[in-house]
Structure 1
């Protein structure tokens, strides 16, 4: 699989942050991850995410992984 190959994974970090009234900077400080790395994840450009990182994000936001990440095969980058 090519690194720039389209995928159907959608990240909903913006929505969850808005629901919690939290900024990306605040999440960064509480999770211990740089704002740059969280921004890459938020914008769907991350190539991978460690389970430990996902766990910390979920702990801080009080959510489940499925609240942050979904699979949408019919989205703009998904298969036709």
Structure 2
């Protein structure tokens, strides 16, 4: 289970590129990619506030709770 950041559809609906969005919220395009690709381990409230301000949305529009259990780790025998 995990909390996920879902930006793709929000950016598409608003016609924003990653570069435009990153400039508007004040973080690098690389960090926006980390958020979009599900590799973020945390998000600052100030960043979430900026995202919601630029996208004119609520935090619940940006964050989703995924109830799917993670895949078990694959172990390789020596």
- RMSD of Structure 2 on Structure 1 (CA): 1.5
Residue in structure 2 matched with residue 8 of structure 1 by the alignment: 2
- Show structure 1 runs of 4+ deviating over 4 A: none
Residue in structure 1 matched with residue 38 of structure 2 by the alignment: 44
User: Scaled by the length of structure 1, what TM-score is found?
Assistant: 0.80
User: Scaled by the length of structure 2, what TM-score is found?
Assistant: 0.82
Q: Number of aligned pairs?
A: 71
CA distance in 2, matches of 1:71, 1:29: 27
Gaps of 5+ in 1: 1-6
TM-superposed CA distance for 1:45, in Å, is: 0.2
